[in-house]
Amino acid sequence: MVAEELKFLVIEDDDFQREIIVDILVRLGAMKVTEARTGTEALNYLNDEKQNSIDIILCDLNMPEMDGMEFLRHIGNSHSSIATIIMSALDGALIDSVRKMASAYGTYLLGAIEKPITPANLETLFSLFKSQDIKQRKELNQGSLFTLGEILEGLTNGDFAPFFQPKIQLSTGKLIGAEALARWVHPDRGVIAPYAFIDLLEKSGNIDILTFIMLEESAKACKLIHAQGHKISISVNLSLTSLTDTKLANKITRVVSESGLDPKYIILEITETAAMTEMAPALENLARLRMKGFGLSIDDYGTGYSSMQQIARIAFTELKIDQSFVREMTTSNVSKVLINSSIEMATKLQMKCTAEGIETKTDLEQLKGMNCDLGQGYYIAKPMSFENFLKFCNQSLSN
With beta carbons less than 8 A apart as the criterion, state whether 116 and 356 touch: no
Report how far residue 72's alpha carbon sits from residue 74's, in angstroms, rounded to the nearest whole number.
5
Our finding on whether 210 is near ligand C2E (CB under 6 A) is: yes
Rule CB under 6 A: choose which of 251, 378, 385, 396 binds ligand C2E. Answer: 378
In the complex, the smallest distance separating the C-beta of residue 217 from ligand C2E, rounded to whole angstroms, is 10
Q: Are strands 175-186 and 160-169 parallel, antiparallel or unpaired?
A: antiparallel
Size of the site for ligand C2E (CB under 6 A): 25
Contacts of 91 (CB under 8 A, 6+ apart): 114
**Contact predicate 238/208, CB 8 Å:** no
Within 308-337, the residues that bind ligand C2E by CB under 6 A are 323
Give, in degrees to the nearest 5, the angle at Cα 389 between 393 and 212: 120
If one asks whether residue 392 binds ligand C2E (CB under 6 A), the answer comes out as no
Using CB under 5 A, count the residues that bind Mg ion: 5
Sign of CA dihedral 390, 235, 357, 337: negative
Q: Which of 66, 214, 276, 355 binds ligand C2E (CB under 6 A)?
A: 214
Q: Directed axis angle between helix 207-227 and helix 386-398, to 10°?
A: 40
Does residue 318 belong to the site contacting Mg ion (CB under 5 A)?
no
Among the residue ranges 72-80, 94-102, 190-198, 220-228, the one whose residues contact ligand C2E (CB under 6 A): 190-198
Site residues for Mg ion, 339-378, by CB under 5 A, read 356
User: How far apart (Å, rounded) are the C-alpha atoms in residues 74 and 76?
Assistant: 5
| Helix (H), strand (E) at residue 333 | helix 333-348
Per-residue x/- mask for Mg ion, residues 203 to 242, rule CB under 5 A?
----------------------------------x-----
Strands of the 83-88 sheet, one edge to the other: 32-36, 7-11, 56-60, 83-88, 108-114
Binding mask 81-120 for Mg ion (x = CB under 5 A): ----------------------------------------
| Separation of alpha carbons 52 and 56, rounded Å | 10
285 binding Mg ion? (CB under 5 A): no
What's the min distance (Å) between Cβ of 269 and Mg ion?
4
**Among 149, 47, 131, 59, CA closest to 95:** 59
Does position 12 interact with ligand C2E (CB under 6 A)? The reply is no
Return the residues of window 42-81 that contact Mg ion according to CB under 5 A: none
> If 0-12 CB within 10 Å is exposed, 13-18 middle and 19+ buried, where does residue 229 land?
exposed
The one of ligand C2E, Mg ion, none whose footprint includes residue 193, by CB under 5 to 8 A per kind, is ligand C2E
Among 88, 107, 237, 342, binds ligand C2E (CB under 6 A): 237
Nearer to ligand C2E, 22 or 321 (CB): 321
Query: Does residue 217 touch ligand C2E according to CB under 6 A?
Result: no
Taking CB under 6 A as the binding criterion, the range among 42-50, 88-96, 105-113, 377-385 that sits at the site for ligand C2E is: 377-385
Amino acid type, 186: H
Q: What single-letter amino acid sits at 359?
A: E
Between strands 160-169 and 233-238, the pairing is: unpaired
The partner in contact with residue 378, picked from Mg ion, ligand C2E, none with C-beta cut-offs of 5 to 8 angstroms by kind, is ligand C2E
CA dihedral of 80, 82, 83, 88, whole degrees rounded to 10: -80
Residues that bind ligand C2E (CB under 6 A): 165, 181-182, 193-194, 198, 207, 210-211, 214, 237, 239, 269, 271, 299-300, 323, 356-359, 376-378, 383
Interface with Mg ion by CB under 5 A: which residues? 237, 269, 299-300, 356
